[in-house]
């Protein structure tokens, strides 16, 4: 079934759901019910929230309506007729009053239930073959926190039961992989209302995971010709006016704070600070390109309703870098970044991705000539690297075109991580120049780029991709040594010391518990290796190895185990 047909199916199912709610809850006020990417929803204003039992009753009523095979009938009515028809429906009346004069007003009727709707719909309700109501959530009318809180019922529908079952299985798997649950189960991070929503607290193992990613990030950047910089968390308000953030990004920035009577803002971006570093002295064309990288923590206001674990937060650390180059260097630097992106993603186990080239939006800064030149450079870079890509017409930033790389995880879901953005706006605003071969001053171009996106978001994607079972080199605890009895504890610690000396992260579980219990706990904690030591291992100088994924692997000498772990950590 084509996407358009699937949308019609789901929109029709949402209509039937509203009909069922009206039958069961006559006092409900009906809002809107669109088809969305994986299903549909409908918003209702009801005296008390829907319960799981209510959802089951609504589903049963929907099945009765579907079995009636009632036709969907489209009717065009006058504005006055619409206002009279929906006089007891305040949300429908608001929508009707926003319809421009002269534009048709249409309703759809089936089985005596009439809904304000543009359609289209199915021929009749009997064409709905497989649906499922999934959940209930609170939702402000039109997403505005000043409006009433409504009850939103989410559901989905498919042409066949087989397709629905496949989707529901995928949902179950997604729930099992949910990084919020894994973060709690593996003791990695937490978010506290006392401190504020969207602000992440990293626990010891989570902080260690961050360190592993960030150390690798820094080493790779130094090896790839970047220099590291560090910048403040706040700056005078004037800086954000110069950069254009007050004009174009104010709704995502926090309110100013007064310091010595001067307004300061907490930073939403790192780039203005990099501009200031550039301006500390005269730069020559011989210095370009300059590549400055920073793991800079930034703060952006997000509505509480859209915050979601590590994926949508208010404070996050950007995998940030800015390349300042000549116009002639734009193509080669873009290709260099593309290669760097692919190398980094592969190291973390992401081989499947989708590339997008985003072009000039409706509102933009700079001349058409410069936009065309920059877009051509990005397009040529992608072509020369042999990458397939889709063009997102009008999807560029206001300051320049961009390349986005969306990775696909183990469930085939796309995640936005890597981006390469051309910017001719900030170099102009900050009046940065370089001295060319002609001894004249010229304006450089800046490339904003991120390889992983933000540390928070990337950790969430990693956890969900691997279902918490991270590769050996990223696991906060790589092995746990399990002594069978008290007489083996000393040997267990000596084994752990030998592995630590070789650079591995190892713990010893010497609690007075049965070995089977310890193994199960280690499995739940997603520890890659359990090293069991008893009389035989102690006498032979070996360990009995149990793999998280492969089970028992037999006994091996400690020196041999160390070599095996080194090869696995290196990706061999």
Give the integer Cα–Cα distance in Å for 218 and 344.
12
Domain with CATH 3.40.50.800 in the chain: 472-569
Give the integer Cα–Cα distance in Å for 265 and 257.
6
Give the integer Cα–Cα distance in Å for 564 and 568.
6
Report DSSP state, residue 26.
Answer: T
Mean pLDDT of 190-206: 96
Q: Which CATH superfamily is domain 472-569 in?
A: Anticodon-binding domain (3.40.50.800)
Split at pLDDT 50, 70, 90, the class of 363 is confident
Beta carbons of 62 and 24 less than 8 angstroms apart = no
Give the integer Cα–Cα distance in Å for 468 and 570.
20
Kindly provide the residue ranges of all beta strands, DSSP E only, lying in 225-289, ordered along the sequence.
227-228, 234-236, 257-259, 262-266
**Does pLDDT of 572 surpass 60?**
no
Question: What would the two tokens of residue 187 be?
Answer: 């003791």
Q: Cα dist. 310→4, 32, 179, 448, 541 in Å?
A: 33, 29, 8, 23, 44
Mean pLDDT of 478-498: 97
Predicted confidence at residue 20, as pLDDT, reads 97
Give the integer Cα–Cα distance in Å for 141 and 145.
8
Q: Name the percent of the chain lying above pLDDT 90.
A: 88
Contacts of 166 (CB under 8 A, 6+ apart): none
Kindly provide the residue ranges of all beta strands, DSSP E only, lying in 494-565, ordered along the sequence.
506-508, 529-533, 542-547, 551-557
Question: What would the two tokens of residue 306 be?
Answer: 């859209």
**Does pLDDT of 37 surpass 90?**
no
Query: Which of 399, 456, 417, 444 lies closest to 283 in space, CA to CA?
Result: 444
**Does pLDDT of 1 surpass 70?**
no
**Does pLDDT of 29 surpass 80?**
yes
Pick the CATH number of 3-169 from 2.40.50.140, 3.40.140.10, 3.10.20.600, 3.30.980.10: 3.30.980.10
Beta carbons of 572 and 558 less than 8 angstroms apart = no
Contacts of 193 (CB under 8 A, 6+ apart): none
Element (H, E) at 190: strand 189-191
Active site residues: 271, 300, 318, 320, 322, 402, 448
Domain with CATH 3.30.980.10 in the chain: 3-169
Bigger pLDDT: 18 vs 249: 18
Report DSSP state, residue 400.
Answer: B
Q: Would strands 506-508 and 445-450 be described as parallel, antiparallel, or unpaired?
A: unpaired
Instruction: Please give the mean pLDDT across all residues of the chain.
Output: 94
CB neighbours of residue 421 within 10 Å: 21
Give the integer Cα–Cα distance in Å for 151 and 206.
35
Predicted confidence at residue 185, as pLDDT, reads 96
Mean pLDDT of 240-268: 91
Split at pLDDT 50, 70, 90, the class of 333 is very high
Mean pLDDT of 501-516: 96
What is the largest distance, in Å, between two alpha-carbon atoms of the chain?
Answer: 93
**Does pLDDT of 146 surpass 60?**
yes
Q: Cα dist. 4→9, 117, 165, 367 in Å?
A: 9, 16, 21, 38
Give the integer Cα–Cα distance in Å for 244 and 240.
6
Give the integer Cα–Cα distance in Å for 560 and 542.
9
Side-chain half-sphere exposure of 34, counting CA atoms within 13 A: 4
For the four alpha carbons of 233, 234, 235 and 239, in that order, the dihedral sign comes to: positive
Split at pLDDT 50, 70, 90, the class of 144 is confident
Beta carbons of 27 and 53 less than 8 angstroms apart = no
Coil, helix or strand at residue 16: helix
Predicted confidence at residue 2, as pLDDT, reads 59
* Cis peptide bond upstream of 518, omega within 30: no
Beta-ladder partners of 392: 358
Domain with CATH 3.30.930.10 in the chain: 185-231+270-466
Beta carbons of 421 and 400 less than 8 angstroms apart = yes
Order the strands of the 113-116 sheet from edge to edge: 73-77, 105-110, 113-116
Predicted confidence at residue 3, as pLDDT, reads 63
φ/ψ (deg, to 5) at 407 = -85, 150
Predicted confidence at residue 455, as pLDDT, reads 96
What number of helices (H) and strands (E) belong to the chain? 18, 28
For the four alpha carbons of 520, 521, 522 and 524, in that order, the dihedral sign comes to: positive
Beta carbons of 421 and 295 less than 8 angstroms apart = no
* Cis peptide bond upstream of 120, omega within 30: yes
CA angle 112, 117, 119 (to 5 degrees): 100
Please measure the distance between the N-terminal and C-terminal CA atoms of the chain and give it in whole angstroms. 43
Q: Cα dist. 139→25, 41, 61, 149, 192 in Å?
A: 19, 11, 24, 6, 22
Beta carbons of 189 and 201 less than 8 angstroms apart = yes
- 185-231+270-466 topology per CATH: BirA Bifunctional Protein; domain 2 (3.30.930)
Bigger pLDDT: 265 vs 362: 265
Predicted confidence at residue 248, as pLDDT, reads 80
- Helices 52-67 & 3-24, crossing angle to 10 degrees? 110
């Amino acid at each position: 079934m084509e996407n358009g047909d699937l949308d019609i199916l789901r929109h029709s199912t949402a209509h039937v759901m509203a009909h069922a709610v009206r039958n069961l809850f006559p006092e409900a006020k009906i809002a809107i019910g669109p088809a969305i990417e994986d299903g549909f929803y409908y918003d209702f204003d009801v005296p008390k929230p829907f319960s799981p039992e209510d959802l089951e009753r609504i589903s049963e009523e929907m099945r009765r309506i579907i079995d009636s095979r009632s036709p969907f009938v489209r009717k065009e009515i006058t504005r006055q007729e619409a206002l009279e028809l929906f006089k007891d429906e305040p949300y429908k009346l608001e929508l009707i009053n926003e319809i421009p004069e002269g534009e048709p007003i249409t309703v759809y009727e089936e089985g005596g239930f009439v809904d304000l709707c543009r359609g289209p719909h199915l021929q009749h309700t009997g064409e709905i073959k497989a649906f499922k109501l999934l959940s209930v959530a609170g939702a402000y009318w039109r997403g505005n926190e000043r409006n009433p809180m409504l009850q939103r019922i989410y559901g989905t529908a498919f042409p066949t039961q087989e397709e629905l079952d496949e989707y529901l299985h995928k949902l179950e798997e997604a729930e099992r992989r949910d990084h919020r649950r894994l973060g709690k189960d593996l003791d990695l991070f937490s978010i506290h209302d006392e401190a504020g929503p969207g602000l992440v607290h990293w626990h010891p193992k989570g902080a260690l995971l961050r360190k592993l990613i960030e150390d690798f990030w820094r080493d790779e950047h130094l090896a790839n010709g970047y220099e590291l910089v560090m910048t403040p968390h706040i700056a005078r308000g004037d800086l954000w006016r110069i950069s254009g953030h007050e004009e174009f990004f104010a709704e995502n920035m926090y309110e100013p704070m007064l310091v010595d009577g001067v307004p300061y803002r907490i930073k939403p971006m790192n780039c203005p600070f990099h501009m200031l570093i550039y301006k500390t002295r005269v730069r020559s064309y011989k210095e370009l390109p300059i590549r400055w990288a920073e793991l800079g923590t930034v703060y952006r206001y997000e509505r509480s309703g859209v915050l979601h674990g590590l994926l949508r937060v208010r404070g996050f650390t950007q995998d940030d870098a800015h390349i300042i180059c000549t116009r002639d260097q734009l193509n080669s630097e873009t290709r260099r970044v593309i290669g760097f992106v692919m190398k980094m993603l592969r190291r973390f186990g992401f081989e499947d991705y989708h590339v997008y080239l985003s072009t000039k939006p409706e509102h933009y800064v700079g001349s058409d000539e410069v936009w065309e030149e920059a877009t051509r450079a990005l397009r040529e870079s992608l072509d020369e690297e042999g990458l397939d890509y889709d063009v997102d017409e009008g999807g560029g930033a206001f300051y320049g075109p961009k390349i986005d790389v969306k990775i696909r995880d183990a469930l085939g879901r796309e995640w936005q991580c890597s981006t390469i953005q051309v910017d001719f706006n900030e170099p102009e605003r900050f009046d940065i120049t370089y001295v060319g071969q002609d001894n004249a001053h010229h304006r450089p171009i800046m490339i904003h780029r991120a390889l992983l996106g933000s540390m928070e978001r990337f950790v969430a994607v990693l956890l969900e991709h691997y279902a918490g079972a991270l590769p050996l080199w990223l696991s906060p605890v790589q092995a746990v040594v399990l002594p069978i009895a008290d007489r083996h504890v000393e040997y267990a610690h000596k084994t752990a010391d030998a592995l630590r000396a070789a650079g591995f992260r190892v713990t010893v579980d010497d609690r007075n518990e049965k070995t089977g219990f310890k193994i199960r706990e280690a499995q739940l904690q997603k520890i890659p290796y359990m090293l069991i030591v008893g009389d035989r291992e102690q006498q032979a100088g070996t360990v009995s190895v149990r793999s998280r994924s492969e089970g028992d692997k037999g006994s091996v000498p400690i020196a041999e185990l160390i070599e095996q772990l080194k090869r696995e950590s290196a990706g061999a």
